[in-house]
């Protein structure tokens, strides 16, 4: 009986400590579960938008690169910049029309558009501004050179392969000489739209 009286305070104290520890443990588990639900909801796109998904996607790109969201045609693309879709018009080239509702589909327009989709759709690219050109054209599109991850200048590639013409709008641009040479080479070798039977 005397021993019980001596041990009882220690038993009660230990029991209270265990209860406190249990409450703290349950609180921690609850917090972790709440965080997990929010994280999974963000990844699955729950809510009004998928901002968390956009952030995680952007982090998978190389520094300075943006993701191509859509290829409009052979010389225009939509890219994602800080989670916002932005339209980009490629400097120094003009591909045959394939989507302009005001104009009929031009010779080699579909082929040019398909080539651009093959090289750019869903890819990460780097954009280069040209100090000799405006930043934005009259339609609100960014004016840029587009580079593939291997360093290829996509604008020049389209001209070189015969899927676009060299195009100078009002003032000369940084790579004008290179693009003109690329077009001349495509013509000589009858590549793409310059082939004998391209538009027949």
Residue 159: is it exposed, middle or buried by C-beta count within 10 angstroms (0-12/13-18/19+)?
Answer: buried
Whether 132 sits among the annotated catalytic residues: the reply is no
**Element containing residue 76 per DSSP (H, E):** strand 76-81
Which of these is catalytic: 69, 87, 106, 141?
Answer: 141
Whether 141 sits among the annotated catalytic residues: the reply is yes
Query: Taking the alpha carbons of 79, 84, 89, 92 in that order, is the dihedral positive or negative?
Result: negative
Which of these is catalytic: 97, 160, 166, 183?
Answer: 97
- Asked if residues 50 and 42 have their Cβ atoms less than 8 Å apart, the reply is yes
Nearest by Cα to 154 from 127, 131, 134, 177: 127
Which of these is catalytic: 89, 144, 157, 183?
Answer: 89
Provide the annotated active-site residues.
89, 97, 141
């Amino acid at each position: 009986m005397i021993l019980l009286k001596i041990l009882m305070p220690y038993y009660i104290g230990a029991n209270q400590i265990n209860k406190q520890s249990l409450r703290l443990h349950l609180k921690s588990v609850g917090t972790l579960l709440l965080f997990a639900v929010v994280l999974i909801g963000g990844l699955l796109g729950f809510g009004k938008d998928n901002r968390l998904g956009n952030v995680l996607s952007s982090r998978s790109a190389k520094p300075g690169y943006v993701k191509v969201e859509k290829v409009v045609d052979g010389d225009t693309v939509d890219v994602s910049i800080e989670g916002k879709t932005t339209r980009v018009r490629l400097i120094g080239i003009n591909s045959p029309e394939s989507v302009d509702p005001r104009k009929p589909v031009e010779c080699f327009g579909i082929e040019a558009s398909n080539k651009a989709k093959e090289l750019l759709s869903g890819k990460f690219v780097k954009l280069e501004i040209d100090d000799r050109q405006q930043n934005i054209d009259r339609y609100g599109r960014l004016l840029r050179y587009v580079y593939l991850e291997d360093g290829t200048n996509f604008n020049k590639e389209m001209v070189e392969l015969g899927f676009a013409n060299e195009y100078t709008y009002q003032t000369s641009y940084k790579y004008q000489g290179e693009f003109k040479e690329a077009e001349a080479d495509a013509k000589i070798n009858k590549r793409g739209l310059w082939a004998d039977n391209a538009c027949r």
